[in-house]
């Protein structure tokens, strides 16, 4: 499946691609003396609102870290409840996402999921594949190191097949084999929950993203909190190695 998004980049301070580590569900629940899974349930509602907000603002891609390759280390009970939550969320939300012209992509190592969950994912992706609104990328059993490794492996296979010379490998070529191929790079990265780390999320793609961290716990990350992140983004100067003066001059040209 091609991930291609073919639209010019808007120069209005609105990011084309927002990538989010949705963190803090467990602490949100703990504060309320609730089981951790109650926090994950509350987090689904935040996702719903954020998807709507992104659609309204004309953001093209929203990538959400839903389950990391390291999250299997959690207690078995929490993992199985999270898997159930994915299934019910897909069943409940797919139709509405489709009606709202959202295209869903799920990226990560899917083989580890139950056949039932894999089927639900495939059905949701197929249903929404031609939609032209927001592209919603859900990273599930995703790890940045895995992504770069599988891309490298595929280039290696081409070398073995005699289709490619090692000396001809370019960054673009590697990028083209990562799971976000064809999508614009994340302009804005948001992590809720107060931790200042990447936790093996998009290691390749965050190279030049603007980073935004907030202490707000994911279930509390509402429209206002998102607007605040967007305001912070809009106020930054993205230099990509150039000087501030060069960037200013480029704007006037």
Shortest Cβ contact with Mg ion: which residue? 23
**215 is an active site residue:** no
> Is position 226 an interface residue for ligand IPE (rule: CB under 6 A)?
no
> Is position 18 an interface residue for ligand IPE (rule: CB under 6 A)?
no
Beta strands at 210-213 and 188-191: parallel, antiparallel or unpaired: parallel
Identify the active-site residue in 3, 71, 100, 131. Answer: 71
Cβ at position 144, least distance to ligand IPE in Å: 11
Spatial CA neighbour of 173 closest among 162, 158, 184: 158
> Is position 23 an interface residue for Mg ion (rule: CB under 5 A)?
yes
Contact between residue 94 and residue 104 where contact means Cβ atoms under 8 Å apart: yes
> Is position 202 an interface residue for ligand IPE (rule: CB under 6 A)?
no
The neighbouring-strand residues paired with 212 are: 190
User: Starting at the edge strand that comes first in sequence, how are the strands of the sheet with 210-213 ordered?
Assistant: 103-107, 135-142, 61-68, 17-21, 188-191, 210-213
> Is position 65 an interface residue for ligand IPE (rule: CB under 6 A)?
yes
**101 is an active site residue:** no
Cα–Cα dist 236/223, whole Å:
20
Q: Which does 197 bind (CB under 5 to 8 A by kind): ligand IPE, Mg ion, none?
A: ligand IPE
Q: What residue ranges bind ligand IPE (CB under 6 A)?
A: 21-27, 65-68, 70-71, 82, 193, 195, 197, 199
Catalytic residue ranges: 23, 71
């Amino acid at each position: 499946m091609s991930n291609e998004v073919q639209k010019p980049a808007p120069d209005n301070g609105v990011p084309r691609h927002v990538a989010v580590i949705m963190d803090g569900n467990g602490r949100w629940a703990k504060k309320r003396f609730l089981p951790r899974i109650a926090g994950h349930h509350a987090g689904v509602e935040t996702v719903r609102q954020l998807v709507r907000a992104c659609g309204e603002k004309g953001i093209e891609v929203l990538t959400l870290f839903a389950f990391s390759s390291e999250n299997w280390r959690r207690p078995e009970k929490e993992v199985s409840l999270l898997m159930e939550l994915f299934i019910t969320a897909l069943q409940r939300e797919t139709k509405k996402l489709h009606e709202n012209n959202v295209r869903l992509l799920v990226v990560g190592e899917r083989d580890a999921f139950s056949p039932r969950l894999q089927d639900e994912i495939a059905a949701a992706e197929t249903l929404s594949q031609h939609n032209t609104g927001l592209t919603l990328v859900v990273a599930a059993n995703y790890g940045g190191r895995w992504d770069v490794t599988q891309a490298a492996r595929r280039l290696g296979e081409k070398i073995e097949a005699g289709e490619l010379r090692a000396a001809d490998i370019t960054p673009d070529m590697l990028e083209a084999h990562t799971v976000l191929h064809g999508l614009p790079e994340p302009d804005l990265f948001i992590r809720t929950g107060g931790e200042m780390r990447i936790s093996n999320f998009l290691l390749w793609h965050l190279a030049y993203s603007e980073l935004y961290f907030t202490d707000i716990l994911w279930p509390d990350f509402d429209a206002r909190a998102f607007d605040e992140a967007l305001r912070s983004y809009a106020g930054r100067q993205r230099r990509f190695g150039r000087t501030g003066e060069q960037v200013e001059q480029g704007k006037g040209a």
